Amino acid sequence: MKEDKKFHIQTMGCQMNERDSETLAGMLTGLGYSKTENRQEADVAIINTCSVRDNADKRFFGTLGQLKKIKEQRPDFVVCVCGCMMQQQHIIDRIKEKYPWVDIIFGTHNIHEFPQLLRSVTEEKRKIVDVWDEAGEIIEGMPSKRLYKFKAFVNIMYGCNNFCTYCIVPYTRGRERSRHPGDIMKEVRDLVADGVREVTLLGQNVNSYRGMSEKGPTDFADLIYMLQEVEGLERIRFMTSHPKDLSDKLIQAYRDCSKLCRNIHLPVQSGSDDVLKRMNRRYDRAKYLELVNKLRAAVPEISISTDIIVGFPGETEQDFEDTLSLVNEVGYDSAFTFLYSVRKGTPAAEYEDQVPEEVKHRRFNRLVDAVNTHSAEKNAAMAGRTERILVEGPSRHNKKTMTGRTDGFKVVDFEGDSSLAGTFCNVEITQGKTFSLVGRLVP
Ligand code: SAH
Ligand code: SF4
Ligand code: F3S
C-alpha cells in the first residue's frame, strides 16, 4: 500500500455536519491518512451531505457525477457518502441505481463505524451500504481533527423532537438525546488545554437540553453557568435556540455569565401567526416579540439574527406582509432567508396550496432588501466603537487583511499581522458595511 495516503472531505449543511466531518477527519488521521484540499489526489473522498433544502440535494448529485471520472482513472479511489441525505431511502435507491461505483454509504447514526467500513472496502473490495434507522447510544471519546486551533464546536445534544412541518431534520437526525454534562465539561476542559478559547455549543434546539449530573437534572442555562467557571475559556456561543423553549433563566445567564457572548440566533421563520401555526412552531408573533424585548431589556447590546422561510404553503400576501413588518419591528443584525423547499416525507410537502415560484421569488427579494437595510444600519451604528475580537486569520478576499469576530459575532476586517490569529485584539470600528465591519487595530 502507498505510504502517504490522503483524504478529502466535502461538507455540506450545518455545524452538525461540520462537527461530524471533524470526527471523520480525526479517524482518518488515526488510520495514517493526511488531509488534502485537492480531491484529485485523494485516496479516500467523503461527501457529508445535507437534505435541508432542494439545492443541497442538487449540489450533491452534481458533485457525485464529477467523481465518476476520478474513479474511472483510479479504481482504488474510495468514494464515501454520508450525512443527512443518506437517512432517506429514496436517496440510497437513487445512488445504487445511478452511481453504483460509490464504495461506502453510511448515515448520521453510525459515523463511529467508519474505520471498519473503510477497512472492509480497502481490504475486501466490497461495496457497503450501512445506514441505521435509529440512533444508538451516544458514543463518547471519538477522535477529532478541528478546523481551528482556538475555537471549537461542541455537541451538547443530538436530534430534534420538534417536527416543524417543513423540516427534514427530525427524520435524518432522529430523536433528541442530550450528552451527560460531565462528558461535555471534560471535552471543553480538554479543548481549552489544547488552546481553544471559544466554544460553540451545538444542538438543533439547545434550549431543550436535559442532562443529568451527580447533582441532579441539568438544563441548558445550568450548563452555561458551569462553563462560565472553566478557567482559560473566554467565549461561549450556542446554536440553535428555539423560541418556544427559551427560558428566563437563560436570559438571566446572559447577565451573570461574562463569557456568554452577547449574541443570539433565534429563528422566527415567519411573522404570521397563521403560518407559524401550520409550521408547528408552537409560539406566536407576540410571544416571539416579547422574547426579543426581554433579551434586549436584559442585554441592551445583544445582537440578534434569525432564519426566515418565504413561500411556505398557503402563505398569503398578508402573511408575507406580517413577516416584513416583524423584520422591521425587530431590526435584526442579520438573517438567513430561504425559499420554502418541498422535502419529501414532511407534512408540508403534502399541503396542496403550494405558493407559485414567481410569487415566492418576488417576496424573497423584498424580504432580502428589508433584512439588508437593517443589517447595514446596525453595522453603521457600530462605527467609532472599540470591540474585542477573536482573530481568525487572513481574510478570504484579501490576504493582506486579517479577519476576526466581535462578541456579537460580527465579522471585522482590519490590517494586521497573521501572527495575531487565535488571539484577542481590540479594534476600533471605522466603517460598518452590510455584511461586515472594517476596523483599525488599537495598540
Ligand atoms: N434547528 C434549527 C435549524 C435547522 S435548519 C432551528 O430550528 O432553528 C436551518 C434553517 O433551514 C431553518 O431554520 C429553516 O429556516 C430552514 N429550512 C428548514 N427546512 C426548510 C425547507 N423545507 N425549506 C426552506 N427552508 C428550510
Ligand atoms: Fe427542523 Fe424545527 Fe427541529 Fe429546527 S426545530 S431542526 S427547524 S424540526
Ligand atoms: Fe442539513 Fe442535516 Fe444539518 S439536513 S442542516 S446537515 S442536520
Specify the DSSP element, H or E, that contains 121. Answer: helix 114-124
Does the CB atom of residue 50 touch ligand 1 within 6 A?
A: no
Whether 52 lines ligand 1, by a CB cut-off of 6 Å, is: yes
Confidence at residue 205, expressed as pLDDT on a 0 to 100 scale: 95
Stretch among 54-68, 244-258, 266-280, 346-360 having the lowest mean pLDDT: 54-68
Helix (H, G, I), strand (E, B) or coil at 331: coil
Cα–ligand 2 centroid distance for 209 (angstroms): 14
The three cell numbers of residue 15 are 455545524
Q: Is 27 helix (H, G, I), strand (E, B) or coil?
A: helix
Q: What is the CATH number of domain 147-261?
A: 3.30.750.210
Report the pLDDT averaged over residues 202-217. Answer: 94
6-130, what's its fold?
Answer: Rossmann fold (3.40.50)
* Single pTM value for the model: 0.96
**Model confidence band, residue 1 (pLDDT cutoffs 50, 70, 90):** low
**Model confidence band, residue 443 (pLDDT cutoffs 50, 70, 90):** confident
Grid cell listed for 350? 403534502
**pLDDT tens-digit map of 226-277:** 999 999 999 999 999 999 999 999 999 999 999 999 999 999 999 999 999 9
Which of the listed residues 53, 205, 241, 282 should we mutate to test ligand 2's pocket, taking the one with most ligand atoms within 8 A of CB? 205
Query: What value does the mean pLDDT of the chain take?
Result: 96
The DSSP call for residue 58 is H
For residue 45 the three cell numbers come to 473522498
Q: Is the pLDDT of residue 323 over 80?
A: yes
Mean pLDDT, range 212-219, rounded to an integer: 91
Read off the pLDDT of each residue in 412-438 and give the average, rounded to a whole number: 96
CB 45 within 8 A of CB 78: yes
Distance from the CA of 45 to the center of ligand 2, in angstroms?
29
Around ligand 3, the residues with Cβ closer than 6 Å are 13-14, 16-17, 50-52, 83-84, 168-169, 172-173
- 10 Å CB burial of residue 38 (0-12, 13-18, 19+) is exposed
Q: How far is the CA of 47 from the centre of ligand 3 (A)?
A: 13
What is the number of the ligand 1 atom nearest to the C-alpha of 205?
1
pLDDT confidence bin for 215, thresholds 50/70/90 = confident
Tell whether ligand 1 has an atom less than 6 A from the beta carbon of residue 202: no
Domain with CATH 2.40.50.140 in the chain: 386-441
- Tell me what pLDDT residue 2 has: 62
CATH code 3.30.750.210 region(s) in the chain: 147-261
Is the CB of residue 281 less than 8 Å from the CB of residue 274? no
Of the options 1.10.10.10, 3.30.565.10, 3.30.450.20, 2.40.50.140, the CATH number for the domain spanning 386-441:
2.40.50.140
The answer to whether 215 touches 250, Cβ cutoff 8 Å, is no
Residues of the chain with CATH 3.40.50.12160: 6-130
pLDDT in tens, 376-409: 999 999 999 999 999 999 998 887 899 999 999 9
